[in-house]
Structure 1
Amino acid sequence: MSRPSFSVCVYCGSRAGHDEQYTRLAEVVGQWIAQHGGQLVYGGGSGGLMGAVAAATLATGGRVVGIIPKALVEKEWAKNDCTELHVVENMHDRKRMMAERADCFLALPGGIGTLEEFFEVWTWRQLGYHDKPIGLLNAGGFYDGLLGFMRHCTTQGFMGEWQSDLIRSEADPLVLLPALVQAAGLSDPVDTSEI
């Protein structure tokens, strides 16, 4: 397996949600990463959208770096067939290592954990701790409410528009993924599925 040309950190649900479109969305993301010579960095879980994006990346020939706290490994939630599986002490170590291994970040549908990770890397970027692109995959309008709330925060004077501009939101992963990779200053991803 050749060295990946970029790494995408994906945040997403440990549950699959009620609509099968979310699982399919995660699979498309994983397939795209693998087909374009990239590497998935994610939370190391085997269930829900986390498991789906990792399984799709691996099945398409891509590399997967899973990073999971030992407490979750003890609950047998780890995806043990990751290319690399790093077991860390706690959630803080997990998030730090995920951020360090990534060239860009992408949030898929998910719950409180996904939102917490997304807001943390967004906060870090606005404070200048990193300058890596951040994407919000708003497929099917999943994040419409959140985007509306962010606009409300801006109109009420708690945010500047420049902070919202640090995030790119798209409904189509095939539009958002190459935009994030290119915004990271990396070469245009090459589709290796036809090679």
Structure 2
Amino acid sequence: MKTKVEISIGLLILLILLAIILGLITSLSGLLVTSVEAAKQDYISAIIGSLGNVIGGIIGVLAAVLVAAYQIRKTFDLERNKGVANNSAVLRLIRTELESNHRLIQNFREQYVQGNKTFLDLISTDNWERCSLQIGMETSDDTLNAVSSVYRKINLLKSDRNMDVQTYDRLVSDLSAALGNVDNDLRLLQSNN
């Protein structure tokens, strides 16, 4: 599995600065060692040990920064993928309900026009009522507006008020458009995941 590590400009500048500082410390430690060696003093091992600690600390900070950047990026990707998966599941449930409602409303048009409304009990808004608040930001505004409008019209259809034929036919075409929007969003979610 390939892992892609992205380094931002700020992180790159920080790494360059730390590399320069590390280089300076290494050069200065070499000069210090030669000057202490020339002075024939006994504290050279203490200086070399402390310089080793400083250089090790800088290398440790570099490693920690790289690991933290990688972990943050992976966490962000994981959360985004979970959000896409949840949103995709919600949209699939709503699509299934819309398809069922679309078939019913389309097939029972003549009965409705003749005053027979018994099929309205079969029309469901349960998934919408249960899942509408869980729709994520990945869903387009057009889709959300279309689906919300269709469900308002379905609730109007199920109410005691009579809907004229033109509004009924507009509901059928709006259902088709809303289904198209949901399908487009689902395709986008699947291609981005």
TM bracket (short chain): under 0.3
- Structure with greater proportional helix content: 2
The TM-score, its normalising length taken from structure 1, stands at 0.23
TM-score, length-normalised on structure 2? 0.23
Work out which of the two has the higher radius of gyration on C-alpha atoms and give 1 or 2: 2
